[in-house]
């Protein structure tokens, strides 16, 4: 097996991105999960970046599900997961059919939208509007937002906002909401292993890189727990989403400049 010819700058950036994701999951929820792939994609192809991150995310998800074991809503998982599987399939088709620059452009747009959503509270506003207009979203909404979450998760591991649009108006207990989120993304990420394997994104080179970065998983989660009581959530996310916005803008520029 030949080690992938990644640029030297990729390694510190990837380590930082993985630590940031672990910190987010360990101390601040999962809101920064979508920052790793865009950061890595500035140095390597987006499918490679996504392939390296997926086994790492699968390991992180086990920590979350263990922490909230038994505290999740089976009803909402049954509503969301069928659509999510369809979205994963569509995301896999995009990875397989689109050229690298088109994927880079799509990834950049997702990143900028994801960051803007956090700054302007678009998810919360849309969830509030759905809640005020028709009460709790029903099965059709679950199918749509589940599919969109699966699609954006497949391309950029950024399925959080569509999931939140559906789940926030459900008015679940906070612990139940976080536990449901942990199980939902564990299932989504493990299902993604199948199309990623067929598309060659889990090749030996990417898996070797995932293994090299694996020690950062518990380190990042532990660091998140430690930082939770020491810095504000607002400060953490302000830095994270500013970085994500700038990274997304750079990906868009690179894609259009080629």
DSSP state of 34: G
Q: Is residue 58 part of a domain?
A: yes
List the helix and strand counts (H, then E) for the chain. 12, 0
Q: Is residue 146 part of a domain?
A: yes
Q: Is residue 162 part of a domain?
A: yes
CA distance 75 to 58: 23
Other CB atoms within 10 A of residue 131 CB: 15
Are residues 202 and 54 in contact, defined by beta-carbon separation less than 8 angstroms? yes
Q: Is residue 89 part of a domain?
A: yes
Q: Is residue 231 part of a domain?
A: yes
**What are φ and ψ of residue 250, in 5° steps?**
-65, -40
Q: Is residue 5 part of a domain?
A: no
- Indicate the pTM of the whole model: 0.84
CA distance 44 to 37: 10
Residues of the chain with pLDDT under 70: 1-2, 26-33, 123-124, 126-137, 228, 233, 258
Phi/psi-derived region of residue 121, left when phi > 0, alpha when psi is between -120 and 50, beta in every other case: left
CA distance 111 to 105: 10
> Measured on CA atoms in the order 250, 251, 252, 253, is the torsion positive or negative?
positive
Alpha carbon distances (Å) from 6 to 10, 48, 209, 234, 249: 6, 10, 10, 34, 22
Q: What per-residue confidence (pLDDT) applies to 84?
A: 97
Are residues 24 and 30 in contact, defined by beta-carbon separation less than 8 angstroms? yes
Nearest in space to 192 (alpha carbons), one of 74, 94, 71, 69: 94
Number of domains in the chain: 1
Q: What per-residue confidence (pLDDT) applies to 112?
A: 87
Q: What share of the chain is helix, strand, coil (3-state, %, to 5)?
A: 80, 0, 20
Q: Is residue 156 part of a domain?
A: yes
Q: Is residue 248 part of a domain?
A: yes
- Domain range for 150 is 10-257
DSSP state of 212: H
């Amino acid at each position: 097996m030949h080690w992938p010819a990644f640029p030297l700058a990729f390694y510190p950036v990837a380590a930082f991105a993985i630590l940031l994701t672990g910190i987010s999951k360990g101390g601040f929820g999962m809101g920064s999960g979508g920052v790793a792939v865009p950061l890595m994609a500035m140095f390597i192809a987006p499918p490679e970046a996504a392939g390296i991150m997926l086994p790492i995310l699968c390991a992180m998800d086990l920590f979350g599900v263990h922490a909230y074991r038994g505290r999740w809503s089976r009803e909402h998982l049954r509503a969301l997961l069928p659509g999510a599987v369809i979205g994963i399939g569509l995301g896999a088709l995009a990875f397989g059919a689109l050229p690298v620059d088109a994927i880079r452009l799509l990834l950049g747009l997702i990143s900028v939208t994801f960051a803007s959503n956090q700054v302007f509270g678009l998810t919360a506003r849309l969830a509030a509007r759905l809640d005020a207009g028709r009460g709790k979203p029903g099965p059709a909404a679950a199918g749509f937002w589940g599919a969109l979450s699966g699609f954006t998760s497949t391309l950029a591991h950024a399925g959080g906002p569509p999931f939140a649009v559906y789940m926030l108006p459900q008015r679940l207990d906070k612990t139940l909401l976080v536990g449901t989120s942990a199980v939902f993304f564990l299932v989504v990420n493990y299902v993604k292993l199948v199309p990623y394997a067929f598309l060659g994104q889990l090749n030996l080179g990417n898996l070797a890189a995932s293994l090299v970065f694996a020690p950062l998983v518990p380190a990042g989660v532990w660091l998140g727990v430690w930082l939770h009581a020491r810095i504000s959530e607002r400060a953490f996310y302000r830095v994270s989403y500013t970085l994500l916005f700038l990274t997304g803008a750079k990906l868009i520029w690179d894609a259009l400049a080629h």
